[in-house]
Structure 1
């Protein structure tokens, strides 16, 4: 699959490159990021190198599209769509601590949703979002993008910290992409 580069007014989204390994490793030292995502804990330099190699393979296979989020030529996060080959792909993202609270992940996620639902990808009819219960920042982003809250998946997440419940939401190709009410206390 072509490694598409996406642009927004502030961001470039492009496939992670070997030279990104140090930035990925540094961002993934954040304990909150490790707790709320599937990145390993501890996150070692070799983990970043393996992730970049996996990302290349996923692009080649067409199974996952993964982009580094770049703000002013700095890698500030990652975003991707997993399981592109069948069913509903799942959007996932993380932000480096210093880039949080600036609307960067929402801007990147909007570009990725637009990419997924573009006319040249008619097979993608739905995108799923999942997050560890309590990941309010991720939930706020999904809600702003128009994702509809669909429920709780008990003990569906597994990472270095064990099992956790997940919130799940979905967005259909034809859904209105405006903030949706969710039955969660997201503030």
Structure 2
């Protein structure tokens, strides 16, 4: 177990969701070398120092209880990194958290994102739902309006479209979609 997180792992089929580790840096850099990743993500990781910083931020998020980042690996593929999932929660008093994800180029089209996101949602609602005293009732998934793949993933995972977010350049040059899934969904 790494310092900074409790060693939580989730599984769904051949996918293992686990906290990020320092030795994931090469796979993280390879994932961020993909042009599609550079197009969709506001955060870019393009050097060993940036990878180390990004991985440290993941550990710090676990320790603070504000960001729960999971490396998604494929156990059928020998533990190959296939994606990233994050649950971002401003604090224990908040009833809403945001989920985010990405998949590697090799994983796209294989159903990785919806399977991993469904596992994360189940865990989040079981761990932080109002019945646990933690108060989490809603999960938001945000993406740029032209990201049709993310819209499909949201719909598959029970996140109906609930609104349009105005553009916020330079990081978000286009309007966005807000999808919300509630604990009762």
TM-score range, shorter chain: 0.7 to 0.9
* Aligned: 1:46 with 2:52: no
Residue 17 of structure 1: aligned partner:
21
Q: Summarize deviations over 1:75-124 as a string: whole Å, max 9, x none.
A: 11100111251341111000010110000111100000000110654211
Give the match's secondary structure for 2:158: coil
Partner of 2:97: 89
Q: What per-residue deviation string (whole Å, max 9, x for no partner) do you get for residues 121-165 of structure 1?
A: 421100000001211111101101111101211114653xx6332
- Equivalence for 1:68: 71
Q: How far did 1:170 drift?
A: 0.2
Equivalent residue, structure 1, for 2:40: 36
Count of residues in Structure 1 that have an aligned counterpart in Structure 2: 172
Gaps of 5+ in 1: 176-187
**1:148 pairs with 2:160:** yes
SS of corresponding position for 1:54: helix
CA-CA distance at 1:2 after TM superposition: 2.7
TM-score, normalization by structure 1: 0.86
CA RMSD between the two structures: 1.7
Indicate if the aligned counterparts of 2:128 and 2:136 stay in contact, CA closer than 8 A: no
Q: TM-score, normalised by structure 2?
A: 0.86
Question: Which of 91-100 and 42-51 deviates more?
Answer: 42-51
Question: Looking at both structures, which has the greater relative contact order when contacts are Cα pairs under 8 Å and sequence separation is at least 6?
Answer: 1
Matches of 2:127 and 2:39 in 1, distance apart? Answer: 36
Asked if the contact 1:83–1:90 (Cα under 8 Å) also holds between the matched residues in 2, the reply is yes
In 1, the alpha carbon distance for the partners of 2:39 and 2:143 equals 11
Structure 2: runs of 5 or more not aligned:
none
Decide whether aligned partners of structure 1 residues 70 and 130 sit closer, same or farther in structure 2, where only a CA change above 3 A counts: same
Counterpart for residue 164 of structure 1: 174
1:110 aligned onto 2:114: no
Shift >3 Å, 4+ stretches: none
